[in-house]
Amino acid sequence: MSNSQTLKSPVKIGAKALPKKKAAPAKRSEKPVNPAVAPPKNPGHSHPFPRTEFLTTVARLRDAPGDAVAEVAFVGRSNAGKSSAINTLAGKTRLAYVSKTPGRTQHLNYFSVAPDRYFVDLPGYGFAKAPEDVRKQWDGLLGPYLQTREQLKGLVIIMDIRRPLTEMDWQMLEWFAPTGRAVHVLLSKADKVSRQEQTKMLRQVKADLADLGCPVSVQLFSSLKRTGVAEAATVMKGWLGLCDNSSKETGADALPEEVSVEDKDAD
Ligand SMILES: Nc1nc2c(ncn2[C@@H]2O[C@H](COP(=O)(O)OP(=O)(O)O)[C@@H](O)[C@H]2O)c(=O)[nH]1
Ligand SMILES: [Mg+2]
């Protein structure tokens, strides 16, 4: 990476950097996954990354795929809807839930989306229980990955639309911004709030992020209703250097009525 400045672990910068925003506390534990919000069984039809396959779990940065040309990383508070979003983009039920298996939760989970192109599922913020665990996770793997991985083209941060910009989201943003890489925010579970509230939150989050000093875009997203799938795919395909004709060919966002999923998110 060209940026040579030393970035500090967000757990160290947090206390000073954060009081400017009020935020809900990050959740500490992962809830059981509700498979009901997995994507429908029509892969390749309304899903922009239908060839996605789980590739490997990486515990040390040097074990990351050497053939990678470009990759997009996904991060977010536990339970924000990250696994559901990856599954929805791929159109594969339970694909990303593999990262909940013990031993994989703290590591980088690689999914191949196209030849030499990867999605990288990063640990949920709420996973590590103790501050030392968070620090270990950051210093050992996550920090170096986000700071030095040349192939990382952009970071997708998943935020529950009802609780966007949590303390950990700000820490991540403020830590990542100096790398100069792009950030795209998915305001997930958009179906949980009214249209009016969606518009309001979108505008508010955009305004809050305007001063960050790194290229950051924001959109609405719902795995349940498949809102924003094409928009997200366009951003990600741009980062990955894949041409985007999925939404034109498949009308990815135009098919919400095909999705028969049950909303069991009790939040
Ligand atoms: N209503 C609604 N619930 C969702 C959506 N996406 C995820 N969920 C639910 O939110 C919970 C957490 O989702 P999951 O993808 O496992 O979150 P992760 O911990 O960030 O990977 C589960 O109960 C999902 O069913 C969505 O778009 N709409
Ligand atoms: Mg998950």
Reply yes or no on whether the pLDDT at 120 is more than 70: yes
10-256 CATH fold: Rossmann fold (3.40.50)
pLDDT band at 212 (very low <50, low <70, confident <90, very high): confident
Residue closest by Cα to atom 8 of ligand 1: 81
More confident residue, 208 or 256: 208
Ligand 1 center to 106 CA (angstroms): 19
Q: Which of 101-115, 116-130, 212-226 has the highest mean pLDDT?
A: 212-226
- In a 13 Å sphere around the CA of 75, the CA atoms on its Cβ side amount to 27
Q: Is the pLDDT of residue 222 over 50?
A: yes
Q: Which amino acid, one-letter code, is at 143?
A: G
* Chain segment 30-61, per-residue pLDDT in tens: 444 444 455 444 444 468 999 999 999 999 99
Ligand 1 centroid from CA 172, angstroms: 21
101 pLDDT more than 70: no
Taking the C-alpha atoms of residue 37 and residue 23, their distance in angstroms, rounded to an integer, is 26
Of all atoms in ligand 1, which is nearest to the CA of residue 263?
1
Ligand 1 first shell, C-beta below 6 A: 30, 33-34, 36-37, 76, 78-84, 124, 188-189, 191-192, 222-224, 263-265
